[in-house]
Structure 1
Amino acid sequence: MPWNTAALRLCCILSTLLWSSGNAIDCELRQTCSDCITIDLTCGWCADEGVRLDSRCRLNGMHTDCGNVFAPASEIVVPQEPPPATAISPETYNVSLRNTDTLSLPIDVTTVRNIPLDLYILFDVSQSMDEEISAIQGASAEIIARLQNITDDVQVGVGSYVDKATLPFSRRNLTQESGCIKPGGPCYNFRHYGRMTNSREELSERFSRIETGSNIDAPEAGLDAMAQAVICNESVGWRDSAVKMILTFTDDAFKFSGEGRQGGILTPFETVCGLTNSTETNSYTMYSGLRNDYTSPGQLLSFLESSNIIPVFVSVTSSAQAQGFYNVSQTHQELARLYNMRLSGRASFASVNTTGTNETGIANSILTIIDQQVLFILSQTGLSPERINGISFSVKAECPARAIELNEGTNMESCSNVSVGDTTRFTLNVKLLDCEVFGTETREVAVSVFPLGRVVIEITPICSCLCDDYEVNSPRCSFNGNFSCGECTCKEGYCGLQCQFNVSVRTGCPDGLGGNICSGERGACLGTCECVCEMNLTAIVDNPKLLRVGVSTRLAKRAHLVVLSPWLAERAHLVWW
């Protein structure tokens, strides 16, 4: 038979076998136990000693001739001691997770009463917001009173902002700390009016200190103000044990990083609290923002996420805005939508129209927005797994009756409108993506439970075999190699199942696979102790029996063939013509 015809027929055989047996090839190409069990869940390692196998790594179920197969399974362990009655059950998991495998962990979350709440209210106090500021100052005592109908454990803080007090943003009078040449009020970037309080009187007094400010161009320093309110943890008084929210009321867009260059401000925004005491009065602390550029939406998102603070953007359509200012609802709505992708759907947007409304109506509209947004957030429940390289999480939610499913169909489902006492069943799916990226050591992963609490998952990756530890110069390897996982790894110069052959002694080399495929000349003994011999390719193709015998790795390489396992070779005659 011509050489090209023989080669073509052999290629057809091999391609058919490989097409039908991809997983088997994936398994059988693995040379170590650890590689075997991490390449695919369908692979297992034969750890029998003293046997010659074409491949120790095979598909599970194909180890018919092996008595000691290592194919570990992932495992979930819940602490045996019953946990105390809590809103979250269970609070801990221990899992052993095999590479590429997924485990599903059920977690029950019960909504409780009187969830601690920290609320920071931030107002744009530019001239166009004058009516809204005046209205809320007169009704500020009601804020805490109404919130206490939702939760007893509440504290509120307040801040205000306009813009950086320099051209072209504001026309500042340099002889005064907060004076502006343009009439209408002080120009300043951000003011903070004291640590959070649960006193109606204190909050009302702080609102009375707010002054309507002045600036020139339309966009304001809203992101700067939010960033300072988040970063200045000590000054604001955020509690770790509370649900933390920041509500921003504005009728205009926001400036962001890069725009400070218009005022000659080149230094990027710094992640430090910039509040300083006022030199004119002790009624507030302030952030001028004259040394640093505006923050960016991405930076603010990072601050919110790391501090676990929920932003609510409230767009105000006012009478002043109707006289010439443009509507900015879409800007803040889009920002909230983008933030939701990282904040598990809890960033929120609301709008209020105060056009043609008297002061009482404006105050009621603002108070209603505050109530609605707090209720919306506190009635939610969901899971937020820690981001860990090499592992992925997804969350499915079974919401109680009357509750609303959020993010349905995504990999992070949650529920809203959950009543006090209702229990939500979550299924947390954990998948080990990559042993090398995740690491081989046991790690604790935190899963935040909204609104309060967390579940701790201790993950032990199954990335290696118990038999991987080498027995150096093992007697099972004739003291000429190291033993692990059922086989010997011979020192240089030795070969054989027990490393019993010295390759320099040709007489110690056993017979090859037979005269049909060898020229009759014995060669040096190689790692699998097969003889080196020249192969007659045409003879192999013409004789399917030789394929059923199986071509060893070393011989196949000499013949420029792929390795055929006994299992594949046994099926070669099925496609032979």
Structure 2
Amino acid sequence: MVLRGVTVGLLLFCWLAHRGAHGRRREHGCHSTGVTNCQDCLASGPLCAWCAEKSFIGPAQHTWERCGLAQALLERGCPRSAIEDPRGSSVFLRDRPVTSHVREPKQRSHQITQLQPQQVLLHLRPGEPQNFEVKFKRVEDYPIDLYYLMDLSFSMEDDLVNVKKLGIDLMDEMRNITEDFRIGFGAFVDKTVMPYISTTEHMLQNPCKRKEPCAKAFGFHHVLGLTRNGSLFEELVGGQRISGNMDLPEGGLDALMQATVCEEQIGWRNVTRLLVFSTDGGFHFAGDGKLGGIVLPNDGKCHLENNVYTMSERQDYPSLAHMAEKLKEKNIQTIFAVTEDVVHLYEGLKEIFPKTAVGTLSSDSHNILQLIVDAYNALTSEVIMDHSELLQGYQVEYNTSCKGHVVQTGEEGRRCSNISIGDEVTFQVSVTAPPCGIAPEPSRLLIRPQGFGEEVEVQLRPLCQCRCQEHRVEDSPQCSGGRGALECGACRCKEGWVGASCECDAGVSAGEGAVALCRRDNSSEVCSGRGDCVCGECVCHRPRRNPEHTYYGKFCQCDNFHCDQYQGRLCGGRGRCDCGVCQCSLGFGGSACECPLSTATCLAPDGLLCSGRGHCVCGACVCVDARFQGPVCEVCLSCPDVCTLHRECVLCGASARDRVEERCRGECGPLNVTLVSEPGRLPQEQRELGSRRCRERDARGCWVHFSHQAERGNISAHIHIALHRECPPGPNVVLVTAVASGSVVLLGLALLLIWKLLTTVHDRREFARFQRELGRARWDRGENPIYKSAVTTILNPKYKAQ
């Protein structure tokens, strides 16, 4: 017996260490009033551990305080040797390696191994995944059983000729794949009742409606069990005759069900199982039997007597889901060789049936051999991991890196495609057990690749027991002189006694007088709903999620975690919570210790508190004037800036040459004004010190540069003005005049050219119209209608010339 999973163990150890570092903040539900012993503690969570040390808790504490994260128990003083925290493991009971070379033809087939390991024992901590590897390798010369199931209705007559020659040819072709190949044959038509076939006497005898008689209609006939004798296949299949029915769909699902479940009669081995289904028609399914008065559902069992299906006239057709379930159970891969007009129908079955291929059959089935070989290669080039039906609560997940590609998880983690002979694929299998008591123990799981005979037997053993339970001491003196049993460091009291040491009479403890002592101010709640009344005193519960949270007080009315929070932290992280009130650290105040008592954060760069425009409240400035804002009330968006404020004084002072004139005193007021010659001589701008450089435009459009230096306590104190102004250059009169004149001339010429062009086009159009009208003119050369001849001719009607 070999112990595997070292890598998984290391990863689990690191994960537990990480979780343990957070154990003081979260207990993951280990603390609960329902936890009274070690077994209940293990069942409460996959990370919960139990301290079996007798002196770990005092007599006034609850038993469930022994349950928590292992790291938290260690920090609370529990010896490591006393901690019950069983972890899962993987033990490989049978681990024969996969075959690594091509085998000799004479070697026995059962020695070929494609799946590793073969048997695994998993010790599972409920809720904690346990991982192990399953290797699959597609090996050359793996045994194959192939059963050929053929539609023998009248429309398949020309196909039967080619199928009769299939045996030896298929045996020769499959020897390129494996030396251990067996083939069998079965045939089907439909149920032998109306309206599927005609039940008149002559139609029963000859359903093909022709002089040469054909076989009577039948449901399913097993002709030849699986054999290595290709000549026998041709001989028996050669003796088959075509039959006939009335409707287009056939009874193929009846035959498919029997060929699947009749393992003994067919001769299926636990190897690669292929079932070739050949037809040119559709199929009847569950419910269609009612047309013939058949209402009994298909039971999915074998009903062959003398190789003939006996329940054809009594049981309905199987449903597609039922058929898919049986194919999966018997691990059979199906190849549908069908004609082109029904390919779409059988393509839909690929979504329902496991490991299914569909090939287009020629009109006379001459391509059946190549179709079978191609379908087999397609099916075996993909491996899909599957498992037996899970017991309640268990979960199985797969992931794989298929031929070096990105790791696939979920449903895609179960499959790997384009596998050639010799390729090895590794699947990571994760099994998670449900909480104790949900699924029976021990239990078993079978994992196998679809369509292959091998499987991995996984024995499941949930870890729901503590080792310390084996050392239970009945009637222990530590439990108040024998009032209970000492188990895993805690007393399990006999009936009628309660308390950590079974020190209290349950009847007295539950009496109204004792309970009244645990009620605060005649409240209906005992111990404020946060504890238990034990012998007239409140024993407070411990909150489940965090071991640092506690209830305390005579009536458990206080706690250390229901206080105001600031920035998501209790008491802002600057104090402790005491019975709902924050006790702040030195230098902080407020209901959540959110306020620093120092005013340093409210000082402006000039040293004034809130720039002299507000008050410092809780470390932040509250501006008196609503126009001002900013951290220290230094910003006024609606106020004129210092440059605009002193514009008139600057423009007046800039007009002087040597000193500020008396007329500027009104605009400048108390400002200290200094004149400099060039803008470069102005003081540098330092806004953090209140120094700023500005410029303003005068009436002539020239820029006047100056600087403003604010002194502490004064908004505007000292102004330096540069006498040199930056005036924009005037316009180039000659250039402007030349451009304007040129533009007028060019515009006139353009208009003249356009007028000339328009008149020319108009004249040419008029001349062309004149010529067209002249060509259409015609002069009338006939007689003048107003002309009267001077001669009158009169004819004598009686006169007849001689």
Query: Normalized against structure 2, the TM-score is what?
Result: 0.56
Task: Give distance in 2, aligned partners of 1:445 and 1:329.
Answer: 37
Task: Give distance in 2, aligned partners of 1:453 and 1:35.
Answer: 39
Displacement after TM superposition at 1:405 (Å): 10
Alignment partner, residue 519 of structure 2: 534
Displacement after TM superposition at 1:259 (Å): 1.8
Displacement after TM superposition at 1:215 (Å): 0.9
Alignment partner, residue 431 of structure 1: 432
Structure 2 residue corresponding to 1:386, chosen from 382, 385, 388: 388
- Quickly say closer, same or farther: Cα 1:523–1:151, change in 2 above 3 A: same
Task: Give distance in 2, aligned partners of 1:171 and 1:213.
Answer: 12
Alignment partner, residue 750 of structure 2: none
Alignment partner, residue 42 of structure 1: 47
- Quickly say closer, same or farther: Cα 1:194–1:537, change in 2 above 3 A: same
Alignment partner, residue 490 of structure 1: 493
- Quickly say closer, same or farther: Cα 1:314–1:443, change in 2 above 3 A: same
Displacement after TM superposition at 1:260 (Å): 1.7
Give CA deviations for 1:377-412 in whole Å, capped at 9, x if unaligned: 3334343333231322122223336xx999975165
Alignment partner, residue 291 of structure 2: 262
Are residues 1:167 and 2:194 paired? yes
Alignment partner, residue 8 of structure 1: none
Task: Give distance in 1, aligned partners of 2:421 and 2:98.
Answer: 19
- Quickly say closer, same or farther: Cα 1:224–1:376, change in 2 above 3 A: same
The more displaced of 369-378 and 490-499 is 490-499
Structure 1 residue corresponding to 2:399, chosen from 379, 396, 419: 396
Partner amino acid, structure 1, of 2:246: I
Alignment partner, residue 102 of structure 1: 129
Equivalent pair of 1:30/1:57 in contact (CA under 8 Å): no
Equivalent pair of 2:327/2:353 in contact (CA under 8 Å): no
Alignment partner, residue 476 of structure 1: 478
Structure 2 residue corresponding to 1:209, chosen from 217, 220, 239: 239
Identical-residue share of aligned pairs (%): 24
Are residues 1:74 and 2:100 paired? no
Equivalent pair of 1:534/1:558 in contact (CA under 8 Å): no
Structure 1: state its 5+ residue gaps: 1-19, 278-283, 318-326, 341-345, 510-520, 541-545
- Quickly say closer, same or farther: Cα 1:310–1:406, change in 2 above 3 A: farther
Alignment partner, residue 326 of structure 2: 303
Give CA deviations for 1:100-138 in whole Å, capped at 9, x if unaligned: 110110122222221111101111222333332233334
Task: Give distance in 2, aligned partners of 1:197 and 1:406.
Answer: 42
Alignment partner, residue 531 of structure 2: 552
Task: Give distance in 2, aligned partners of 1:170 and 1:84.
Answer: 52
Task: Give distance in 1, aligned partners of 2:508 and 2:467.
Answer: 36
In structure 1, the residue corresponding to 2:227 is in which secondary structure?
Answer: coil
Give CA deviations for 1:150-189 in whole Å, capped at 9, x if unaligned: 1111111111211112211101344797643744843222
Are residues 1:62 and 2:60 paired? no
Give the root-mean-square deviation of aligned CA atoms. 3.8
Name which one, 1 or 2, has greater alpha-carbon Rg.
2
Equivalent pair of 1:405/1:416 in contact (CA under 8 Å): no
Alignment partner, residue 249 of structure 2: 219
In structure 2, the residue corresponding to 1:41 is in which secondary structure?
Answer: coil
Alignment partner, residue 463 of structure 2: 462
Structure 1 residue corresponding to 2:358, chosen from 340, 345, 350: 350
Give CA deviations for 1:406-443 in whole Å, capped at 9, x if unaligned: 9975165222432222221111111112332323x434
Partner amino acid, structure 2, of 1:72: P
Task: Give distance in 1, aligned partners of 2:31 and 2:374.
Answer: 57
Equivalent pair of 1:48/1:66 in contact (CA under 8 Å): no
Alignment partner, residue 131 of structure 1: 158
Partner amino acid, structure 2, of 1:483: L
Alignment partner, residue 238 of structure 1: 268
In structure 2, the residue corresponding to 1:567 is in which secondary structure?
Answer: coil
- Once the two structures are superposed, the pairs formed by residues 372-383 of structure 1 within 5 Å of their partners are 372-383=374-385
In structure 2, the residue corresponding to 1:400 is in which secondary structure?
Answer: helix
Partner amino acid, structure 2, of 1:121: Y
Displacement after TM superposition at 1:147 (Å): 1.5
Task: Give distance in 1, aligned partners of 2:330 and 2:294.
Answer: 27
Task: Give distance in 1, aligned partners of 2:454 and 2:335.
Answer: 22
Give CA deviations for 1:470-498 in whole Å, capped at 9, x if unaligned: 53322221211122222113234434433
Aligned residues: 501
Partner amino acid, structure 1, of 2:324: L
Equivalent pair of 2:171/2:230 in contact (CA under 8 Å): yes
Equivalent pair of 2:50/2:84 in contact (CA under 8 Å): yes
Alignment partner, residue 709 of structure 2: none
Alignment partner, residue 442 of structure 2: 442
Alignment partner, residue 294 of structure 1: 317
Partner amino acid, structure 2, of 1:491: K
Alignment partner, residue 372 of structure 2: 370
- Quickly say closer, same or farther: Cα 1:22–1:209, change in 2 above 3 A: farther
Alignment partner, residue 31 of structure 2: 27
- Quickly say closer, same or farther: Cα 1:93–1:217, change in 2 above 3 A: same
In structure 1, the residue corresponding to 2:31 is in which secondary structure?
Answer: helix
- Quickly say closer, same or farther: Cα 1:48–1:267, change in 2 above 3 A: same
Give CA deviations for 1:253-278 in whole Å, capped at 9, x if unaligned: 2112222222222333344433344x
The more displaced of 286-295 and 455-464 is 286-295
Equivalent pair of 1:121/1:159 in contact (CA under 8 Å): yes
In structure 1, the residue corresponding to 2:255 is in which secondary structure?
Answer: helix
Task: Give distance in 2, aligned partners of 1:49 and 1:265.
Answer: 72
Displacement after TM superposition at 1:22 (Å): 7.2
Partner amino acid, structure 1, of 2:52: A
Task: Give distance in 2, aligned partners of 1:534 and 1:446.
Answer: 58
Structure 1 residue corresponding to 2:335, chosen from 312, 332, 338: 312
Task: Give distance in 2, aligned partners of 1:231 and 1:564.
Answer: 58
Displacement after TM superposition at 1:502 (Å): 4.6
Task: Give distance in 2, aligned partners of 1:239 and 1:471.
Answer: 56
Structure 2 residue corresponding to 1:146, chosen from 173, 183, 204: 173
Equivalent pair of 2:124/2:461 in contact (CA under 8 Å): yes
Task: Give distance in 1, aligned partners of 2:385 and 2:218.
Answer: 40
Equivalent pair of 1:495/1:501 in contact (CA under 8 Å): yes
Task: Give distance in 1, aligned partners of 2:121 and 2:189.
Answer: 51
Equivalent pair of 1:111/1:422 in contact (CA under 8 Å): yes
Give CA deviations for 1:279-323 in whole Å, capped at 9, x if unaligned: xxxxx7565712322222233223323322222223312xxxxxx
- Quickly say closer, same or farther: Cα 1:493–1:328, change in 2 above 3 A: same
In structure 1, the residue corresponding to 2:224 is in which secondary structure?
Answer: coil
Equivalent pair of 1:316/1:353 in contact (CA under 8 Å): yes
Displacement after TM superposition at 1:223 (Å): 0.3
Equivalent pair of 1:395/1:413 in contact (CA under 8 Å): yes
- Quickly say closer, same or farther: Cα 1:558–1:354, change in 2 above 3 A: farther
Displacement after TM superposition at 1:226 (Å): 0.8
Give CA deviations for 1:65-95 in whole Å, capped at 9, x if unaligned: 2413322221223459986975443333332
Equivalent pair of 2:145/2:274 in contact (CA under 8 Å): yes
Which structure would you say has the larger RCO, counting Cα contacts within 8 Å and 6 or more residues apart? Answer: 1
In structure 2, the residue corresponding to 1:328 is in which secondary structure?
Answer: helix
Displacement after TM superposition at 1:224 (Å): 0.4
Partner amino acid, structure 2, of 1:77: V
Structure 2: state its 5+ residue gaps: 1-23, 100-112, 551-559, 563-575, 582-590, 592-802
